[in-house]
Structure 1
Amino acid sequence: MSMPAHPLSPGSPLSRLGWALADAWTVTLRDLNHWVLRPGTVIVGWLFPVMIVLMFGGLFGGAIDTPGGSGYFEFLMPGMFALTMLFGLESTMMAVTTDAAKGVTDRFRSLPMSSSAVVLGRCVADMLNSVVGLAVMVGAGLALGWRWHGGIGAALAAVGLLLLLRFALLWVGIFIGLVAGGPEVVTAVQILVWPVGFLSNVFVDPATMSAWLGAIAAWNPLSVTASAVRELFGNPGYGGESWIAQNAALMSVAWPLLITAVFLPLSVRTFRKLKG
Structure 2
Amino acid sequence: MSSSTIAYDSGAVLARHLQRIKHAPGVVILTQTMPITMLLFFGYVFGSALAVPGEQYRAYLVPGLLAATAAGGIMTGMFQASQDAQRGVMDRFRTMPMSRVAVPLGQTAADLLTTAAGLVPLLLVGLAVGWRIEGGVLETLGALGLLLLFRFATTWVGVYLGLLIGNEEAAGQLGSSTFILPLLSNAYIPTDGMPGWLRTTAEWNPISALATAVRDLCGNAGPATDVAGAAWPVTHPVAGSMLWSLALLVLFVPLAVRQYANNGE
1:126 maps onto 2:99 in alignment: no
Q: TM-score, normalised by structure 2?
A: 0.93
CA-CA distance at 1:70 after TM superposition: 6.0
Which string of whole-angstrom CA distances, capped at 9 and with x for unpartnered residues, describes residues 101-136 of structure 1?
Answer: 111111001111111110110011000011012122
Give the whole-Å Cα distance in 2 for the aligned partners of 1:115 and 1:236: 43
Further displaced range: 242-251 or 26-35 = 242-251
Quick one: which of 191, 213, 223 aligns to 1:206?
A: 191
Alignment of 1:95-114 (within 5 A): 95-114=80-99
1:248 maps onto 2:237 in alignment: yes
Q: Which residues of structure 2 form unaligned runs of 5+?
A: none
Further displaced range: 159-168 or 242-251 = 242-251
Q: Is the 8 A contact 1:70 1:236 kept in 2?
A: no
Q: Is the 8 A contact 1:227 1:239 kept in 2?
A: no
CA-CA distance at 1:53 after TM superposition: 0.8
Which string of whole-angstrom CA distances, capped at 9 and with x for unpartnered residues, describes residues 247-267 of structure 1?
Answer: 222111111111111001111
Give the whole-Å Cα distance in 2 for the aligned partners of 1:86 and 1:247: 19
Give the whole-Å Cα distance in 2 for the aligned partners of 1:29 and 1:116: 16
Specify the SS of the correspondent of 2:72: helix
1:49 corresponds to which letter in structure 2? P
Specify the SS of the correspondent of 1:207: coil
CA-CA distance at 1:164 after TM superposition: 1.2
CA-CA distance at 1:69 after TM superposition: 8.8
1:169: which partner in 2?
Answer: 154
Structure with the greater alpha carbon radius of gyration: 1
Which string of whole-angstrom CA distances, capped at 9 and with x for unpartnered residues, describes residues 2-49 of structure 1?
Answer: xxxxxxxx5xxxxx2111110110011011011111234422322111
Give the whole-Å Cα distance in 2 for the aligned partners of 1:98 and 1:69: 41
* Runs of 4+ that moved beyond 6 A: none
Q: Which residues of structure 1 form unaligned runs of 5+?
A: 1-9, 11-15
1:271: which partner in 2?
Answer: 260
Q: TM-score, normalised by structure 1?
A: 0.89
Give the whole-Å Cα distance in 2 for the aligned partners of 1:49 and 1:135: 12
Give the whole-Å Cα distance in 2 for the aligned partners of 1:58 and 1:142: 14
Q: Is the 8 A contact 2:182 2:188 kept in 1?
A: no
1:236 maps onto 2:236 in alignment: no
The count of aligned residue pairs is 261
Further displaced range: 228-237 or 152-161 = 228-237
Give the whole-Å Cα distance in 2 for the aligned partners of 1:91 and 1:243: 29
Quick one: which of 77, 81, 93 aligns to 2:78?
A: 93
2:143 corresponds to which letter in structure 1? A
1:6: which partner in 2?
Answer: none
Which string of whole-angstrom CA distances, capped at 9 and with x for unpartnered residues, describes residues 194-230 of structure 1?
Answer: 2211000011111222110110101110001111110
CA-CA distance at 1:142 after TM superposition: 1.1
Which string of whole-angstrom CA distances, capped at 9 and with x for unpartnered residues, describes residues 38-90 of structure 1?
Answer: 23442232211101111111121112145x99621111101110001112321
1:24: which partner in 2?
Answer: 10
The percent identity for this pair of structures is 37
1:147: which partner in 2?
Answer: 132
2:12 corresponds to which letter in structure 1? T
Give the whole-Å Cα distance in 1 for the aligned partners of 2:226 and 2:120: 26
1:83: which partner in 2?
Answer: 68
Give the whole-Å Cα distance in 2 for the aligned partners of 1:17 and 1:62: 54
Quick one: which of 64, 83, 86 aligns to 2:50?
A: 64
1:4: which partner in 2?
Answer: none
1:81 corresponds to which letter in structure 2? L
Give the whole-Å Cα distance in 2 for the aligned partners of 1:273 and 1:172: 17
2:247: which partner in 1?
Answer: 258
Q: Is the 8 A contact 2:60 2:215 kept in 1?
A: yes
